Structure 1
Amino acid sequence: MLTILPVADTAETALERALPAAPYLRRLHETGVRGHWRDALQAVRDIPADLPEADVMATMRKAKAQLHLSLAAEDLAGVLPVMGVTRALSEFAEECLEAVLRASLAKRDLGGAGIFAVALGKMGAYELNYSSDIDICVFYEPGVFMDGDFSAGETAQRIARDLVRMMQEATGDGYVFRTDLRLRPDPSSTPLAVSTKMADLYYESVGQNWERMVWIKARPTAGDHASADRFLKILQPFVWRRNLDYWAIGDIQAIKRMINSKVGRADFETVSPDVKLGPGGIREIEFFAQTQQLILGGRQSELRDNSTLGALAALTGAGVVERNTAEELETAYLALRNLEHRVQMRRDEQTHTVPAGEDDRKDVAMLCGYADLASFDRDLQATRRCVQAHYDGLFAHEDRALDASPLGNLVFTGVDDDPGTIETLASLGFSNPSAAIESIRSWHRGRVPATRTARGRELLTALLPSMLEAMGKTGEPDEAFRWFSRFFEGMSSGVQTLSMLLAEQTLLDDLVSTLALAPRLAQILSRRPDLLEALVSRQEPPRPVIDDTVSFDGALDAWRRYHREQNFLIGHRLLHGLINARDAGAHWSDLADETIQEMASAAECETEDRYGPRPGSWAIFAMGKLGGRELTAGSDLDIIVIYDADPMVAQTWYTRFTQRLITALTAPTAEGDLYEVDMRLRPSGGAGPVAVSVPAFERYQNHDAWTWEHMALTRLRPVTGDEALCYRIMKIACEAIVARAGKTDGTISQDVADMRQRLYREKPGTGLWDLKTAEGGLVDAEFVVQRDMLLRGEPDAIRSNTREAISCSSLPEAERTLLEEGVTFLQSLQQVHRLALGSEMAGGHIPEGLKDRLCRSVDMETFDALEAEISSVKSKIHMLAVKKLQL
C-alpha cells in the first residue's frame, strides 16, 4: 500500500527540500510570502464589512498565498495530518465567503437575515484540497431576506454574482477559489441564488439520487446560519428516505460508469492514473460510503456523518462494513488524498492525475517521501487495486430488472388474461385492466418500433412494474396509460428512451404524471418523443446560430427545433411547479420575443437577397397578451410591423419582408410550427397594408383610431428592430393616448362601456372555468384599467402589463388590491389550465392530478375551495367593472 512519509523533520526544512520539485511553492517563497496559516485565517476573519471591495479581494488573495505556503510546509513535514490540512483549507474558504458576503451586503446597506450559502462536496465535508473548486449553493428565504421586498430575488442574484466574482476573479494577486454554483437546483434554468421555497419544491418533485448524494455533505458555510439550518432540516426527508432505497445503487453505479467513460477505463498498469476519478481512486471510496449511507441512513441516523472517514467509521460501528474493509479503505483514502495534495501543490493546478513524465513523477514521489520511483509506482497500484476490489464487491449483485414485482402479479404472456394481473391492475385504479393487458401484450410481441429488438422488450419488462405503479399514483391510470401508449407507440426506437426511463425512476414518474396531468403536453410528447431527452439532459438546449450563411429554410428548421425543446421545457416546469404560475407569462413571452427577433432577422436576409437592400429602418411591436408579457401556452402573437422610409419607395419591400416574417413564424415545416400570428390590430386592421409607415401610423392614431384601438394601443411594446424607431413609435403612441384623454366630449367612458357590452354579446361566458371573457374574467379587469389609462392620459401610467398598469392606476387602494389579487389569481390558473388542456373549456373533465396542480398554483387546499374562490373573485371583479364602466 502507498505510504506517505515526511520529507524532513521540520516545516522549514521540508519546504526547503520541496522547492526544487514544486514551482508554485518556489514562486511563493521567492516573492517573499511569509507567516503562519493560522494568521492567514485570522486576517480574513478580521476583514471589516465596510472595507472597500478591492481591499477585501487583495487581503484574501495575499492570505491565500500565506496559507498555501505555510500549510504545504507543515503537510510535507507531517506536522499537520492530511485531514488537518483539508480542514484548514475548508475553514479558510469559509472565512473568505463570510468576508465577501459581509462586503456585498454592506455596500447595499442590508442586513444578512435570510440569505446564506451552503457548502457541498469536499468543502461541505471539510475535505478541500490545495486546488479545489468550492461547491456552494446560495439561497434566500422569501419573507425573511429584505423583509419580503419584491426585489429580494434580484438583490440575491447580485449578491451571488459578487461572491463568485470576488472569490475567483484573477487579479494581480491571483485568485482565491474557483467557485461553482452548478449544484443548485436545476442550474440551467434557475438564477444563481435560489429561493428556499423553489428549492424545496424542486427537490420534492424532481430531485435525483445523485443530488441526494451531494446533499449528504451539505453544511451551512456563510450568512444566516439559522435560515440555513431550517432549510437543511426541510431537505432531510429528501436526502434521508425512510424506506430502504436499494434502487439508488443502480443510479450511483450509472454515475460511476459515466465517470469511467469520461476519464477512460485505464488499466492498473498505468503509471499516470487519475487518483480521484480513475479506477481505485478517491471517488470510489466516497461512493462506497455514500451509497450505503443513502440506503440505510433514512432509518439509522447515526450513519449520516458528512465526511468520508466519518461515514466509514459510522458504517463500521453499525456493523454494515467489516472492520478490515474500513481500515484498508481509510488507509487508502488518506494516502490518495496526500498524493493528491502533492500533485497539486507543485503547480497549483486543478489536477488529480499523477504526471506521466518520469522526472515529474520522481518529484511527486520525493514529495511523498519515496526515494525509489519503482516502489512508489508499485505501492500506488496496490492501493488502487485494493480500493477497487472493495468497491466492485459492493456492486457485484446489482440487478435493476427484478424478477418479481412487489405490486403483485404482472404477467403479460400467453393469450388469456392472467387473473392475478387483472387484480393487480384493478388495485392500482385501472377501470379496464384487460385493455391495458392487451396493449402491453402487443408491445411484447414487437408490434411497435420500440420493442422490435430483444433489448427493447427486456427493457420494457424491467420498466413495467414502476411504470404501472406510477400510473396508479396519478389517480388517473387509464388516462395516463392511454397517453403513454401514444407516446410509446410513436417512438421510432425504444432502447435509448427505455434505458433512460429505467435508469431514472424520477424521470419515469415525471413522464407518467405529465401524461396524466396535461393532455395537451401529452399530445405534444406523443408526436415528439425526442423531447424526453430535454428532460434527461437537465440543461437548456443550445441556441442555434442563425447568420447570413444559413438559408431561410434552414433558419426556420433550426429555430423550430430549438423552440420545440424550450417550449416544452417551459411547459413542463410550469406543470410541475418549477416555474411559479404567476411568472409563467414572462417565460412564454421571452421565448416569443426571441423567436420574433430571430425570424425577423432571417426574413430580412431573405428579402434583401431577393429584392435588394433594405430601405430605411424597421421595428416590430407586440400588442395584446404578448405586448403585456402575459402569453400562455399556445397563445397567438399580436404584432405590427412599422418602417421608416418613403412609402412610395419602400412599401413593396416591407410588404414582402412582412410576408416572409409571417411565413417564418407560422409555416409548418418538417420540424413543426411555431405560432399563429394576428396582425389585425395594425392601423385599418385587415384592410390596411401588412407593414405600416411611420407617417401612416402617426396619422391613424391621431386622427382615425377608435377608442377601442387606443385601448389596444396601451399594450404596445417594442420587440426588435431599430432602437431609435422603437423609441419614436412608443412616443407617438403615448402622445396619441394622452391627446385622446384631453378631449372633453365624454366619449371615452361610453365607448369603453359599449365595447364591453358588445363583447358580452359576441363572446358570452362559457362557465366557471372561462377565466377570460366571462363576466368577472380577465377582460373585465383589462377594460377597467385601460379605461383608467385613457381617461388619465398620464404617460407614466401607461403600462402594457396588466398587473403593472393596475399598480400605477388612479383607482382607490381597495380597488387596486382587489384587481391585483384577482388578476394574479386568474392569470395563474389560466397558465396551468391552458398548458394542460388548451383553450378555455366550458366544463368538462379535469384530471384529478391537474386539480391538485391548479390548487397548488394559487395556494388553495381543496378543489372545491378553489372553485368557490374562482366564483367569488369573478363576482367581485364583475361588480367593480359594472361600477367603473357604468354598464
Structure 2
Amino acid sequence: MQTTAGRLARLGFADGARAERLLGELGPEAAGDLDLLDALVGTADPDLALTSLTRLVERDPGGPGHPSGPGGPGDPGGPAAPGLLGALRADPGLRARLLGVLGVSAALGDHLVRHPEHVALLAGERAVRRPASRDLRAGLLRAVGADPGDPRPRAAGHGTETLSALRAAYRGRLLHLAARDVTGAASLAEVTSELSDLAGAALEAGLAVARAEHPGSEAVRLAVIGMGKCGARELNYISDVDVVFVAEPAEEGGDETEAVRHATRLAQGMMRACSATTPEGALWEVDAALRPEGKAGPLVRTLASHLAYYRRWAKTWEFQALLKARPVAGDTELGERYVEAANEMVWQAATREKFVEDVQAMRRRVEDHVRRDTGEAAERQLKLGPGGLRDIEFAVQLLQLVHGRLDPLLRRRATLPALAALSRGGYVGRDDARALAEAYAFLRRVEHLLQLHRLRRTHVVPADPADLRRLGRALGMAGDPVEAFTARWRRHAMEARRLHEKLFYRPLLLAVARLPESETRLSATAAQARLEALGYTDPAGALRHISALTSGVSRRAAIQRTLLPVMLGWFADAPDPDAGLLGFRRVSDELGTTPWYLRLLRDETAVAERLARLLGTSRYATGLLLNAPEAVVMLGSDAELAPRPPEALLSEARVTAGRQTTAENAVAAVRGLRRRELFRTAVADLTGHLDVERVGQALSALNDATLQAALDAAIDKVEMERRAPLGTRFAVIAMGRLGGAEPSYGSDADVMFVHSPLEGVAERDATAGAHAVANELRRLLALPAPDPPLLIDPDLRPEGRQGPLVRTLASYAAYYRRWSSPWESQALLRARLSAGDASLGTAFLELADPLRYPADGIPDTAVREIRRLKARMEAERLPRGADPALHTKLGPGGLSDVEWVAQLLQLRHAGRLPSLRTTRTLEALRAAVAEDLLPSDDEAALAEAWRFASRVRNAIVLVRGRAADSIPVDVRERALISQALGYPPDGTEDFVEDYRRVTRRARRVMERAFYED
C-alpha cells in the first residue's frame, strides 16, 4: 500500500517525506485541504512553495505555529482566528497568487516572512488590477516620507530606516506584480512596462532622499534619463538601471558650473539611495556608464554639453544606445528637451561613414567578450549567448537605425513594438518577425523566472535538473518539464541566431545605409562567413559565382558589384539560396552583354528582388528563363504577369508559326512562345498572383494554342508531302485534365483525334491523311527542345492503345452506340474542343452528350462498375513503396477522390440538371451544392483538398523541375516545396500535417458521397 509520502512524491513533490511532515505542521485542516494541496501541486516548485508557506504560517498571528495560535502558550482556549490558512481556503484567488509566487521565488517568500502584512496585497480586487505609474511613484515617495504632490519632493530623512522603507515598499509592489505575472493576469509587455515604471518611481524616491541629504538642491534642475531596458519600458525583475543625468540652473542665466556641482551631488546621492545595502538589502545598481565618454566622463552635464559631445565626438554605439532614451525621474520638461534633441541625431546616425560595419564590429566584440569571460557557459547565456536576447535586440536596433531615418513609424523604443513596425513596413518578413518575437518573448519569460527565484541579476540557464524542472513547470510544459523546456529553449535560441545572422549581417543593410553616397562593394574575405550565416550550404561555390560575376574592370562587373550585396540578401530569403545565386550567374552569362539587362536590375528594385526570389525557389522557372532570358522584363510589373487571353495567344502562335518555312521550325517557334508564357504563369503562381484554378486555365489556354499552331503546321506538311489537300476535316478533342482546364505544369495532353471526310473523298484516303496528321503532330511536339515538352497522350480513345489513333465521327458514333462502357462515359465528361475544325468538334461533343449526360442518369449497374473501378485503381495503380497518404493523385483524399465524386454526381444527375454540365471539377461541385445534391460543408472539404493537392503537384514541378505525384521523402526537397507553398523555413512538418489533415477530411466525405446511396 502506497504511503502518504509516496503519494505526495507522485503528485510532484521532490521530497515526499518532508512534504508530509510540513503539511502535518500546518495542522490537520491544512493536511486534509485538497484545494490547498492541488494549488501546491500546481506550482512551479511544490517543495519551495510548501516550505515558504510553512514559514509564513509560523509568522501568522492566527496560525498554529504562532505563540498566540491554537495550542500555543498564548492560546486563551477560544475559537482560533481565521489566520492565513483560513484566508487561503476562503479566497481561491489569493491562494493561487500567493502559492504561485512562493513556488517560483524563494526571495519573495523571504520578503513575506519579514513582512507578512504584504500578503494583503494579493487579496481582493486590487490584487489583479494594474496600478497606474503615478500611483507607483506616489507609493514609493510616501515610503520615504516625501510629499507626492510636491514637484520636487524631498524625503523626511536619508538614514538606513528611510532606505529600508523604500526597499520594503518596492518589494511589496514587486510581489504584487509577480503574482499577476505567474498567474497569467499580466502579459509580458505589461510586466516589463510596470517594472520600468516601478524603477522610475524608485529613482524618483531616491532623488527625494538625495535632496534631503544635500541642502541647496533647489538651485538646480536635474533630469534622469532612462536608457537601455528602463528607457524602453522593457525592464526585467533584477537589472542594472541605466541612466544619464542632465542638469540646468534652476534660474535662467544661473551659474552652470555651480548647477552641475549640485546636480552631481544629487545624482550620486540618488544612486546610493538605490544601491546601498540595508537590512532589507539593495534595490539594484544605477549604471551611468552610457553617458558621454563613459565612466571617464563627468557624471552630469548640461544639455548643451551633451549635444556638443554627440555632434562632434559620439561613436556609433552611443547613438544606438540613445534609441532607448526616455525621461524617468526628476525634471520632466528638461528630460523631454534632451530626448527630442538627441532623436534628431539618432535618426541620422545611419548616414555616418562605416555605420553598419561599426555596429557589427561592436556586436562581435561583445560576443568575443562573452566567450572569453564565460567559456563554455556562453552557450547557456540567455542574454549574450548565441541566439540570446542581445542577438535579437541588436538586429532590430540596426534595422531601425538604417531604415528609421526615412520611416518615422520605426522609431519605437521597445524591441517587440519595433519588430512589429519593421514587419508592417516590409523590412522584416512576417514569418521572420513572428519567429523572432516568439523567441524574444520566451527568452524574456525565462529570464524573469530565473531572476525571480533569488531576486538576483542572472541570465544563465542553470544546469541543475531541479532548476530546469521549476522553469519548465512555471512555463506550463507538460510531460517531462526538463526535456520540454530544454528543447524549446534550444529551438528558440537556434532560430533567433539564424535570423539574427540573416538580418544583422544582411548585405542589403550596407546598400541602404550608404547608397547613393558611395558604391557598395563586396569583400571576398567577409563574404564566406556572411554567406554561411545567410543560409548558403555551399559558400565556397557561392564565392566562385560571386567572383566570376564581379571580377574585372568592365562596366558589367561594376554594376554586379553594386547589385550583388543587395541580391545576396534576397537569395537568402528564398528557399534555396545556392540555386538562386547559380541561376543568377547563368542568366547573367546569357544576358550580361545585353545593355538593358543589368541596367534594368540596377534601376528597377522590384525586378531584381523578384528575380532573386524566383531563381532561389524554382528550377522549373529558372530553366525556362535560361532559354527565354528576355522574359526577365516581365518581372517589373504585376500587369505583365496576368495571363493573356486565349484569342491573343492563338493569334500570336499562328503568326509566329506562319513566318517559318518548315513545320519543324514553325513548331520550334511556337514552343518558344509557349516557353515564355509558361514562365509568365509560373512567376504569377509563385508570387501569388494566380490561384490554382486560374493556373490550370492559363496552362490549358496555352496548350490549346500550341496544339492549334502545331496542328496547322502538321496539316501543311502532310498536304505538301501528299501534294494534295487533306480531304477531311480534323479536330483535337481535349480529355482528362486538359479537357477540364486543370492541367499542372507537368501534365501530358490527353486528347482524342476525330476526322470527317469531305464530300467526294474516299473514307480510306481521308483516314490515311488523318492518321498522317495525327502522327506528324505527335512527332513535331516530341522533338528534342530546351523546354518542357507537351507530350500527347491519346490513350483515352475507344479501345485504348489497341484502338485506331484516329476515327471518323461516324466510327465514334457506332462504337459508343454498341460498345461504350461506364468508364468511357466518365472520361467523356472532360471532353471539349482543343484544336482543329470547330464545327466537327461541336458535332463530336453533341455525339458525346447523351453518353456523359444520360437523361435518366446511369443505371445502378454502371454505378457499381464505377465504384469497382475506383477501388481497383487505388489498389493497383499506386506506385510500390509510395506512402498513400502523401500521393496527391491516388492517395486518400487526393485529386482522384475529389474528381470521382464530382463525376459520379454528373453521370447520375447532369441529364436533368444542365448546371452540372461542365468539364471542371470545382464548378461541378459548386453546381451540386446549388442543386442540393451535396452539402456545402462537404463541397468545401473536397474543394480544399483538391486545391491543396493541385498546388502541391504544381509546387513539386516548380521546385524540382520535373513532375511527380507524391510529396518527396527527401527532407531537403520537402522543405523547399513547403517554402514554395508559403510555409516558413521551419514549417515543413506543418505543411505535411496540414496536407494529411485536409485530405483525411476529404476522404471521409468521399467515402460517404461516393460509396453510399
Q: What TM-score, normalized to structure 1?
A: 0.49
Which one has the largest radius of gyration?
A: 2
Q: What TM-score, normalized to structure 2?
A: 0.44
Higher RCO (C-alpha 8 Å, min separation 6): 1
